[in-house]
Amino acid sequence: SYVLAQPPSVSVAPGQTARITCGGNNIETKSVHWYQQKPGQAPVLVVYDDSDRPSGIPERFSGSNSGNTATLTISRVEAGDEADYYCQVWDSSSDHVVFGGGTKLTVL
Amino acid sequence: EVQLVESGGGLVQPGGSLRLSCAASGFIFSGFSMNWVRQAPGKGLEWVSYISGGSGVTYYADSVKGRFAISRDNAKKSLFLQMNSLRAEDTAVYYCAKEIASGWSNDHWGQGTLVTVSS
């Protein structure tokens, strides 16, 4: 089955840029979606279809997808961005939704 | 405003059954596919099951296939998950989630309902 690999943690200082990667075999052929989850809360969709943002999501959140790696980029990081972030794809070969293991973003 | 409200969680013994419900409002329920996603305590997100808007297509994670059944009642704007032969590893918060129109990502989630499988 398809596997998505994320780093367990990423740390960044306020105002800097955070990049969270999601690795998968030839992931560029799939649409990648990203979720933010804060403690005790439901996930929130922050990027879908590689690089689109739902309404209400700040422009500071952006996504890209190339080769074997998709990336969620958060510019001008704020303390409120501290959360777990998950990537997700649809694997048509198995008819399964697949989530990455999640990355904990720490704002220093 | 889109709202998804799960119910039906609780404590159940191993081997037991539970039926989760998700009441939807604020959108044309029949027009959207839905998913169940779970999260074990302290763990990441795990997809459980998918159902198309018209109920014609369903998919299951390997870990629940043959034990869980997803269904929906579009007239009542409700989503269900029948869980049988429950195991300790099924203990998790279960979320229902609405897919976006272009598919395969979920733009609205409920607050979740906790299922605990323990003797």
Whether residue B103 has pLDDT greater than 80? no
pLDDT at A94: 93
Q: Tell me which residue has tokens 């990537």.
A: A87
For residue range A31-90, what is the model confidence (pLDDT) as tens digits? 999 999 999 999 999 999 999 999 999 999 999 999 999 999 999 999 999 999 999 999
Among chain A residues, CA nearest to B100:
A48
For residue range B52-74, what is the model confidence (pLDDT) as tens digits? 998 789 999 999 999 999 999 99
As a whole number of angstroms, the distance between CA B47 and CA B81 comes to: 13
Burial (CB < 10 A; 0-12, 13-18, 19+), residue A18, is buried
Chain A residues close to B103, C-beta within 8 Å: 90
Of A33, A95, A101, the CB nearest to B105: A33
pLDDT at B56: 84
Kindly give, in sequence order, each residue whose CB lies less than 8 Å from that of residue A29, ignoring residues fewer than 6 positions away: none
pLDDT at B101: 84
Q: For residues B11-40, give the mean pLDDT.
A: 97
